[in-house]
Amino acid sequence: MAKQNTVFKDAFNRCLRLVAETATLPSEPELGTALGVSRTTIRAILARMETLQLIAWNKREKRVLRQPVAADYYPAEETDSLSDIIERSFMRRILAGGAEPGMQINELELARDIGTGTTSVREFLIRFSRFGLIEKRPNSHWILKGFTREFALELTEVREMFELRSAASFTTLAADHPAWLELSRIEALHREILADIDNRYREFSELDERFHLLVHKSSSNRFIIDFYDIITIVFHYHYQWNKTNARERNALAMEEHLAYIAALKTRDLAKVEAACRRHLQSARETLLQSIQ
């Protein structure tokens, strides 16, 4: 097997949702931009839909013949890209499984475990190494440095520097900058979720990322923005793993966010800094608690 056709399968599934909504599909280029894939893939999707008798396809005409049913969709497991699969598998190993710091990581073993080729695993490890959790010994193995207390402290130290700097530049954005609108949208979402916290507290993780990324982006600094990837991945897996008191923690964090957002809106640097520090402080504590 060479390349996997996950792009096709995922786009096919998304295209089925379009089929459910209209009587005729638009042109190939239009579908391509809508689904974010090339015309080659679009034509493969259309051909498959024709085979399944979902549409009648003749040049420009793409008439919907019937509504898609569950059996038309590709199973969700088949639409994940290989690198996502490797990432998940790897993170489970090093976070959930008892992975000791200092442990050796074996490309071949990892590849066999996941059921993939070594090349993909190798490329994943290279990409992943910038997160500071593993380190390469050339011509030899990788070393797991581990999700330790030191790691968390180093991570949060830089995060705090970057976020304070970003928050400060947020206050200097022009009044008509789209970030202000997005900030208001995020604020509204906070209030919505808080109003129904018992049912919706799980939505916090995604909202948290969206908010902090917005702040980081206002730095206009690629290094600061890229660094946020590390935060994202750490917190993402951390949330999946440590669910004690999630409701309370999330509610508290959202209150802090609201105070932080309010401070940003005043454009008063001292207030922004105070609110930002307060939130980062409790975020750090949450992270540290989950480690030891």
Partner DNA sequence: ATTTTGTCTTTTATCCACAATAGACAGATT
Partner DNA sequence: AATCTGTCTATTGTGGATAAAAGACAAAAT
Q: Which residues are at the interface with its own copies (CB under 8 A)? A: 7, 119, 122-123, 126-127, 130, 132, 139, 145, 151, 154-155, 157-158, 161, 165, 220-224, 226-227, 230
The burial of 238, by beta-carbon neighbours within 10 Å (0-12 exposed, 13-18 middle, 19 or more buried), is given as middle
Site for DNA in 174-203 (CB under 7 A): none
Q: What SS3 state is found at 17?
A: helix
Q: By the 8 A CB rule, do 258 and 184 touch?
A: no
Beta carbon nearer to DNA, 3 or 222: 3
Site for DNA in 57-96 (CB under 7 A): 59-60, 62, 81-83
Which one of DNA, its own copies, none interacts with residue 255, CB within 5 to 8 A by kind?
none
Query: One-letter amino acid identity for 284?
Result: R
Q: Pattern 96-135, binding to DNA, x per CB under 7 A?
A: ---------xxxxx------xxxxx-xx------------
Beta carbon nearer to its own copies, 127 or 149: 127
Q: By the 8 A CB rule, do 133 and 151 touch?
A: yes
Q: By the 8 A CB rule, do 212 and 228 touch?
A: yes
Give the separation between CA 198 and CA 251, rounded to whole angstroms: 9
Q: Which of 200, 215, 287 is nearest to 257 (CA)?
A: 215
Q: What SS3 state is found at 224?
A: helix
Judged by CB under 7 A, the stretch of 37-45, 154-162, 237-245, 272-280 that binds DNA is: 37-45
Q: Judged by CB under 7 A, does residue 156 bind DNA?
A: no
Which one of its own copies, DNA, none interacts with residue 223, CB within 5 to 8 A by kind?
its own copies
Query: One-letter amino acid identity for 164?
Result: L
Tell the smallest beta-carbon distance from residue 127 to its own copies (Å).
Answer: 6
Q: Please give the full DSSP string across 203-214, using - where no structure is assigned.
A: GHHHHHHHHHHH
Tell the smallest beta-carbon distance from residue 229 to its own copies (Å).
Answer: 10
Tell the smallest beta-carbon distance from residue 101 to DNA (Å).
Answer: 17
Give the separation between CA 96 and CA 242, rounded to whole angstroms: 10
Q: Interface with DNA by CB under 7 A: which residues?
A: 1-8, 26-30, 37-41, 43-44, 59-60, 62, 81-83, 105-109, 116-120, 122-123, 136-142
